[in-house]
Amino acid sequence: MVSAITTDVFLATALAVFMAIFPYATLKPSARGRYALVDALSYALLIGLALLIRPLGLDVPQSLYFPILLMTKVTLFVVVVALYGEDAVRWSPNHAALFAGAIFALMVPHVLTSPIDGDEPFYLMVTQSMVEDHDLDLSNQYRTIATSPTRRPDIRAQQGDPIGPHGEHYSRTEPFLSILLIPGFLLGGLAGAVLTMALFGALLVRSVMSLLEEEGISFRTSVIAFWFLAFGAPVVFYSTRIWPEVPAAFFFVEALRASRQRRGARLLFSLAGLVLLKLRFIAVAVVLLPLAVFRSGVSRKFLAASAILLVPIVIVWWISGSPFNVHSLRGEVLPAEWWKVGRGLFGLLLDGQAGLMLQAPILLLGVFSLARWREAPETVKLGVFSSLLYLFLLFPRDEWHGGWAPPLRYLVVFAPVLILSAAAAIDRMNRFAALLLLALWTCVITIHGVGFPWRLFHIATRENFVGEWLSLQTGADVSRMLPSFIRPNLAAIVAAVLFCVVFQACLVLGVMKIPRWYPGPFAVALFALALVLLYARGMRPGTLVDFEDAHVVHSGGELDPEQYTVARFLYRDGWRVRSGDVLTFRYAGGPSNIFYKSSEPISVSVDGRQSFLPGTGGRWRSAPLDIPRAAGRRELAVLTGSAVLDRLETR
């Protein structure tokens, strides 16, 4: 903890030094004075607020101080650049990349105060293996895991990882990202590897800014879009994490730009990079290449050269013994259950935990902007078409929300397209108050994610951090008011219907070319009213209690399966209880069913009424429970036996 605080103090100093140099070097002399005032005031205000935290009795974790400082300073500078305009500031894609890259680099030590997670250690171990053993076999790395540069001594080979003919342990991850990490790893180990990712983050920013410029987006809007892209989810999180998504986004944007500029060689190079990073991106490449040839006018000779895209497949085949690595073609291409397509689609858009609506609302604006298809920039159209196949294959997968990864993992690569679409909408709308609200929320998400890096790896429930916090504070299941497609609920259906209605309305208005009028005050107030009504409803006892949720007060027991179970999203989760454990919660009551699994009969009491639940042989079953309707909190006590309790639901 002391080390984390020391790191943050050092980083805050480094940030202050950087922000005392870069903005003044970028701003022209006429604007420096005004910026100096804003700069000094922001420091005064931040210091004042920090000093007031204690007297106000507020409980603000110290790990949030640096992210708050970072976002305040960065945002102020970007606002100044946007307001002063191009006459008062030297601002180009290179400046944007330099600025974003420096900020990402500053975030790296802070992020590394918590261990790397998900696929990250495996990417790094492959890099280490290539550097030290000159092979891809991770057996050595697993043997010496206690001293591994991953700082994760608990890492083991995952079930289903490819095994070589002589017992070699390969990683299921594609090796190209690990190759890219080699220079950084050689220079600085784990930190160097993560800094390499920050470099790719900066390259992505540069590409997107160039794209915005090429598409004729106004200076002010492009600066706003820069802020949302670089310092909002998901790019900001993946720019300081070892995942292939940010480099992939960079290659994707470069491929789109190459298509627009009819530069075939560059297009092929970019697509090869994209597919090498993750085989799954071949679904993007096989659509984009023909589009580039037949729609954008890239020379047809490059269609023949597209055989280069087979190289990654050959490499994967060589390593894993299968052209599709650990995945099966049938499982990847044909959805087992078609309803999951809708769940994945709306989940990625609207899920209260992992969807665009919560994590990156600016990208949702980009989605809505697609309703005005005819006015959309050509690159957006190209990007959307080329992502459709990939997304269609993604939706039905159970891990559409990214699994054990920072949010919106699978959409990072398309974030630039959605940002461009959103930028076009911002240019059209000119509603800065709405933007302000989006920016405030984006700030909250970023500060939370940077402040608590480990919370980016949230287990897939229906709860997000706001819902959890409110549930803990109020003891009520406020989270159930959030649309969840992970554990589908009524709010999810309502949200999906509303989305369709609004999108359809935008579409009709766009097609009929009806001049738009935004009832700003009314719309905002109506939104607030809806939030308040949802909250009021959430404060009332519900008819469903998931026993592992934050609003349930657990006196004993533990999460099941445990938090770090591999591919946990494949399991049905619950709360493991034993004799003597007590759970309290708000519940409406009435004739109910309790869902549980146990290998033996158990006896429970709910509000003092004793009930016996038969053993289920370790399978999920339900049993009736008659619970009287009453106000106040309910108490479920386990008298004898042990079980995993899933949920309690009125019949």
Partner 1 sequence: MFSSEIRDHLAWAGGLLASLAAATIAVAIQPERTPFDTALPLLVVTVALLGSFCRSSPLSQLLAAIVGVFPVAALIPGTTLRHLAYGSLFAAALVTATACLQVRGRIPRSAAIVVTLGAVVPYRLFVVVSVTELAVGALITASVIVLLHFMALSRTLRLEAMVLAIAAGFATPLHPTRAALYPLVVALLIAALRARSLVMTAAAVLAALAAGKWALLIVAVTAAIAWFPISKKNARSMVGIGGGTMAVPLSIAPLFRSLAFAPGTFLTVRRSRSGAAAAVLLICALFVRQALTILMALTALALLVSEDEEASPSMPMLAFTILAAVLVPWSGTLPATWPLPLSLIGIGAVTVISMAGSGRSSIPGVLCAAAFLVALFATGPWRSGSDHAVGIALAPGQSVTVDPERESGSFDLLLSGANIAALPRGTSFASLEIIDSVGQAFRRDVTVGEVTDWAALRGDQFFRSRNGTPSRNAGTITGFGSTAFLRSSGAIHLSLTRPVKAISVSADPGLPETGRVQIEAFRFGAW
- The footprint of partner 1 (CB under 8 A) covers 37-38, 40-41, 43-45, 47-48, 51-52, 54-58, 431-434, 436-437, 470, 473-474, 517, 519-529, 531-533, 535-536, 539
Minimum Å gap between C-beta 26 and partner 1 is: 20
Minimum Å gap between C-beta 135 and partner 1 is: 55
Q: Which is nearer to partner 1, 22 or 43 (CB)?
A: 43
- Whether the upstream peptide bond of residue 234 has omega within 30° of 0, thus cis, is yes
Q: Which is nearer to partner 1, 290 or 475 (CB)?
A: 475
| Residue that is written with structure tokens 């939706």 in the block | 395
529 to 353, 466, 491, 522: CA distances (angstroms): 22, 18, 16, 10
CB–CB of 568/561 below 8 Å?
A: yes
Q: Which is nearer to partner 1, 167 or 521 (CB)?
A: 521
Measure the N-to-C terminal CA separation of the chain; round to a whole number of Å.
48
Nearest to 465 by CA among 485, 488, 441: 441
Minimum Å gap between C-beta 523 and partner 1 is: 8
Minimum Å gap between C-beta 521 and partner 1 is: 3
Q: Which is nearer to partner 1, 494 or 525 (CB)?
A: 525
Nearest to 445 by CA among 460, 455, 434, 435: 455
Nearest to 305 by CA among 260, 254, 251, 264: 264
Q: Cα–Cα distance between 77 and 25 in angstroms, integer? A: 12
Amino acid at residue number 483 = P
Minimum Å gap between C-beta 220 and partner 1 is: 13
- Whether the upstream peptide bond of residue 561 has omega within 30° of 0, thus cis, is yes
Minimum Å gap between C-beta 514 and partner 1 is: 12
Minimum Å gap between C-beta 280 and partner 1 is: 40
Minimum Å gap between C-beta 59 and partner 1 is: 9
Q: Which is nearer to partner 1, 415 or 438 (CB)?
A: 438
DSSP-assigned letters across all residues of 282-323: HHHHHHHHHHHHHTS---THHHHGGGGGHHHHHHHHHHHSST
Q: Which is nearer to partner 1, 43 or 142 (CB)?
A: 43
Exposed / middle / buried, residue 218 (Cβ in 10 Å: 0-12, 13-18, 19+): middle
Q: What are phi and psi of 78, to 5 degrees?
A: -65, -40
Q: Which is nearer to partner 1, 10 or 43 (CB)?
A: 43
Q: Which is nearer to partner 1, 385 or 441 (CB)?
A: 441
Token pair recorded at residue 610: 């004793």
Q: What is the DSSP letter of 573?
A: P
